[in-house]
Amino acid sequence: MVDAYIWGNIERMSPEAPVPVVSVTKKDFRLGGAANVALNIKAMGANPVLCAVVGDDIDGEKFASRLSERNITDQGIYKSETRPTTVKTRVISNNKHIVRIDEESTDVINNNEKEGLLTNIEKLLPQCQVVIFEDYDKGCITPEVIKFTVDLAKKHNIPTVVDPKKQNFLDYKEVSLFKPNLKELKEGLEIDFNVTNRDELQNAVVRLIDELQCDGAFITLSEHGVYIANQDGQHHIPAHFREIIDVSGAGDTVISIAALCVAIDLSPYLVAALSNLGGGLVCEHVGVVTIERELLMTEAIAKIK
């Protein structure tokens, strides 16, 4: 998807309705959604390969142009003649978010789109070291797409990492690492528990792993840090004390670092610790930003034992 921004000044109210008039001073058109995860992957020094569906439209062309500017391949992007490119436009004035305008379709992809997407996945997946499912409940990722991709990844011995949403939550069977946040975990399993009670948290995660038959689960707990568990044990890592300015994009950073750690077979503790640290670092900046790997390395050496 695309994150578009319109900045401007408000100096008067509209004579047509009780709404402010924004005099535009600047516009921007940025890679968003799973493409922001790709930017984080790129910032960490790896080469992301996006497989997704965009519209065969002007916004799709702008999207491809932004990928080219960042030296990210568009080989896995399927252009649909019937589906629009997802664009989320934010109008900002005096550093305040006035309104957001969404242009998108959340319908499940049609057969042509599905076949085009699966063809690209089949062609490109074998050359990769890890697969990330970045799910936004927008209709592109379906149970069939999930099963096809997981089966293909297992055939090539490639790990799969998931950042889920509610709709497909329990369809990610037999993945390598499943990474919901606390709210998604509770909603996905339709349970409630006290996150500060270690036993209740552990029981919920054990149930999740059993339900999905996945190798491991990694739960982000906001101010309570992160929790990771697999057959080798579990680790609860507290959040680092930081000046939180903006949490936008922190989840993208966390899944990016986690996936790269899984790709090089780091221990579960290091997967969680490095991801937790990176997510905290990007929260110290305004807006959606990518991780600075040199800063991550410096902080990791200082804080991770």
User: Which structure tokens are listed for 119?
Assistant: 């063809």
Catalytic status, residue 74: no
Residue-range domains of the chain with CATH: 37-49+128-303 (3.40.1190.20)
Q: What is the model's pTM?
A: 0.90
Identify the weakest region by mean pLDDT among 84-98, 167-181, 229-243, 254-268: 229-243
SS3 state of residue 271 = helix
SS3 state of residue 28 = strand
Residue of 56, 215, 252, 265 marked active site: 252
Give yes or no for a contact between 187 and 137, defined as CB atoms under 8 angstroms apart. Answer: no
pLDDT in tens, 87-145: 999 999 988 889 999 999 999 999 999 999 999 999 999 999 999 999 999 999 999 99
DSSP H or E segment with residue 7? strand 2-13
Say whether pLDDT at 289 is over 60. no
Give yes or no for a contact between 37 and 60, defined as CB atoms under 8 angstroms apart. Answer: no
pLDDT in tens, 28-68: 998 999 999 999 999 999 999 999 999 999 999 999 999 99
Say whether pLDDT at 295 is over 80. no
Beta pairing class for 77-80 and 52-55: parallel
Give yes or no for a contact between 169 and 188, defined as CB atoms under 8 angstroms apart. Answer: yes
**Residues 6+ away with beta carbon under 8 Å from 46:** 260, 263
What are the φ and ψ backbone dihedral angles of 242, each rounded to 5 degrees? -145, 160
Query: Comparing C-alpha atoms, which of 149, 154, 142 is closest to residue 215?
Result: 154
Give yes or no for a contact between 60 and 79, defined as CB atoms under 8 angstroms apart. Answer: yes
